[in-house]
């Protein structure tokens, strides 16, 4: 019989390894949940035009990386390659921007899909936690998001990451710069695709990773020299607020990022232990996106952090996450003791103690093996004679010490010992 494998570029999260992913998602969302961000969940697929317009026709995501499909009903859909366009679509559809005060602050967590060349840290199915603050132009909001991401990484124990920061200007100054850059790029010796890119989105050529392109970009006009006064002042305020929070960052004039919708503040979190897949997260301000997808003007800012790469970064730094064992108490029932111990396990679980029991009618040896394998701190062992005396044997799995405890006291005693 043939067997199946996970599709190319994907992998399964399996215990105990999968616990790291849960811990990373928790750590990233924790600071957001303490900062007024509400949880939002959107479908795994959307109208393909949402991404074509919202992410940008000239981006790698839209031109090469989207999984598209036509339904039996004739709708053109795409598996979501990123979160921002969907979250903004959902906020607009629910009129969240009219319901209460602005900004609308939302966070999300989920699966994203890109048809990429699979390699370490680059998959066709991956996982992000993201945050969006919709409908306010305030440097404190840009700063807040950068500070919260920094806090999330630090809570996890990550140290060797850097924050790269830039401003992409706005609709006043960016067009002027764009033209200057285009004029410069037209004078270079570039391949056909890059020439085309230079016409559609010249800023993205700056982001080209190829050495032969980078070599020619020396002397290119820099956006910093074209920023209007409003953009300059805005950027300085963001920088001052982050600095005051004690968060270190590097100014990176070449940082443009792959999406078309960014304006002003742009940032990326990079980790130096990940080789060429160094970006663990990124984001920025996207003041024009709402209008691009048919909404009102809603200046917004957000980020998305990659869970897969964050896990790899933790491994690269040798950080061991403090993940509590899945099971604290393991029950081993002998003779006719199963119903009583099963009842105790149920009570322990109700009391919030992680408890499990041996299944499959094993003898003492096999059941104790299960107890050891579970990583439990304590085992409760009982046979007919113990129950006749109204006790179970409580075994400390670390010291090996063992003694009787009255059945009625087991839950209380264990809660105290584990507290």
Binding residues for ligand ATP (CB under 6 A): 82, 114, 116, 121-123, 126, 128, 257-258, 277, 279-282, 304, 306, 308-309
| Closest CB to ligand ATP among residues 48, 85 | 85
| Closest CB to ligand ATP among residues 158, 392 | 158
Shortest Å, Cβ 168 to ligand ATP: 14
Shortest Å, Cβ 105 to ligand ATP: 19
Find tokens 């019989």 and name the residue.
1
Shortest Å, Cβ 87 to ligand ATP: 14
| Closest CB to ligand ATP among residues 127, 327 | 127
Shortest Å, Cβ 234 to ligand ATP: 22
Residue nearest to ligand ATP (CB): 306
| Closest CB to ligand ATP among residues 306, 330 | 306
| Closest CB to ligand ATP among residues 309, 395 | 309
| Closest CB to ligand ATP among residues 144, 308 | 308
Shortest Å, Cβ 212 to ligand ATP: 19
Shortest Å, Cβ 103 to ligand ATP: 21
Shortest Å, Cβ 306 to ligand ATP: 2
Shortest Å, Cβ 9 to ligand ATP: 8
Shortest Å, Cβ 235 to ligand ATP: 20
| Closest CB to ligand ATP among residues 116, 409 | 116
Q: What are phi and psi of 159, to 5 degrees?
A: -125, -40
Q: What is the 3-state secondary structure (H, E, C) of the chain?
A: CCCCCCCCCCCCCCCCCHHHHHHHHHHHHHHHHCCCCEECCCCCEEEHHHHHHHCCCCCHHHHHHCCEEECCCCCEEEECCCCHHHHHHHHHHCCHHHHCCCCEEEEEEEEEECCCCCECCECCEEEEEEEEEECCCCHHHHHHHHHHHHHHHHHHCCCCEEEEEEECCCCCCHHHHHHHHHHHHHCCCCCHHHHHHHHHCHHHHHHCCCHHHHHHCCCCCCHHHCCCHHHHHHHHHHHHHHHHCCCCCEECCCCCCCCCCCEEEEEEEEECCCCCCCEEEEEEECCCHHHHCCCCCCCEEEEEEEHHHHHHHHHHCCCCCCCCCCCCEEEEECCCCHHHHHHHHHHHHHCCCCEEECCCCCCHHHHHHHHHHHCCCEEEEECHHHHHCCEEEEEECCCCCEEEEEHHHHHHHHHHHHC
| Closest CB to ligand ATP among residues 37, 123 | 123
| Closest CB to ligand ATP among residues 197, 257 | 257
Residue 160 CB contacts under 8 Å (≥ 6 apart), including other chains: 271, 272, 273, 313, 316, 317
| Closest CB to ligand ATP among residues 56, 282 | 282
| Whether the Cβ atoms of residue 395 and residue 402 lie closer than 8 Å to each other | yes
Shortest Å, Cβ 227 to ligand ATP: 23
Hey, what are 410's tokens?
């087991």
- Beta-bridge mates of residue 105: 133
d(CA 130, CA 282): 9
Shortest Å, Cβ 154 to ligand ATP: 17
14 CB burial (10 A radius; 0-12, 13-18, 19+): exposed
| Closest CB to ligand ATP among residues 122, 224 | 122
């Amino acid at each position: 019989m043939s067997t199946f494998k996970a599709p190319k570029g994907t992998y399964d999260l399996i215990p105990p390894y999968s616990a790291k992913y849960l811990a990373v998602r928790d750590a990233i969302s924790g600071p957001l949940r303490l900062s007024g961000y509400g949880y939002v969940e959107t479908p795994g697929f959307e109208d393909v035009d949402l991404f074509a317009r919202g992410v940008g026709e000239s981006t790698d995501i839209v031109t090469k990386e989207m999984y598209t499909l036509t339904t039996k009903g004739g709708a053109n859909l795409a598996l979501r390659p990123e979160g921002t366009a969907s979250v903004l679509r959902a906020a607009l559809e629910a009129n969240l921007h009219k319901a209460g005060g602005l900004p609308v602050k939302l966070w999300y967590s989920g699966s994203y899909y890109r048809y990429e060349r699979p390699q370490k840290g680059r998959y066709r199915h991956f996982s992000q936690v993201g945050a969006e603050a919709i409908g306010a132009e305030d440097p404190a909001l840009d700063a807040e998001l950068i500070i919260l991401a920094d806090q999330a990484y630090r809570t996890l124990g990550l140290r060797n990451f850097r924050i790269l920061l830039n401003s992409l200007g706005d609709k006043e100054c960016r067009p002027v710069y764009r033209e200057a850059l285009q004029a410069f790029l037209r004078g270079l010796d570039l391949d056909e695709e890059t020439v085309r890119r230079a016409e559609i989105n010249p800023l993205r050529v700056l982001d080209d990773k190829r050495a032969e392109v980078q070599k020619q970009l020396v002397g290119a006009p820099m956006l910093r020299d074209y920023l209007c006064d409003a953009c300059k002042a805005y950027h300085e305020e963001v920088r001052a607020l982050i600095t005051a929070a004690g968060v270190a960052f590097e100014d990176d004039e070449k940082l443009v990022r792959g999406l078309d919708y960014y304006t002003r503040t742009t940032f990326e979190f990079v980790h130096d232990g990940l080789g060429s897949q160094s970006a663990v997260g990124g984001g920025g301000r996207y003041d024009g996106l709402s209008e691009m997808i048919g909404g009102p003007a809603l200046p917004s800012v957000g980020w998305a952090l990659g869970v897969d790469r964050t896990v790899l970064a933790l491994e690269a730094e040798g950080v061991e996450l403090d993940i509590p064992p899945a099971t604290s108490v393991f029950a081993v029932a002998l003779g006719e003791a199963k119903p009583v111990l099963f009842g105790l396990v149920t009570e322990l679980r109700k009391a919030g103690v992680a408890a499990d029991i041996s299944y499959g009618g094993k003898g003492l040896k096999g059941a104790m093996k299960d107890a050891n394998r579970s990583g439990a701190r304590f085992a409760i062992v009982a046979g007919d004679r113990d129950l006749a005396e109204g006790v179970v044997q409580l075994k400390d799995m670390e010291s090996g010490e063992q003694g009787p405890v009255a059945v009625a006291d087991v839950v209380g005693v264990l809660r105290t010992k584990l507290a």
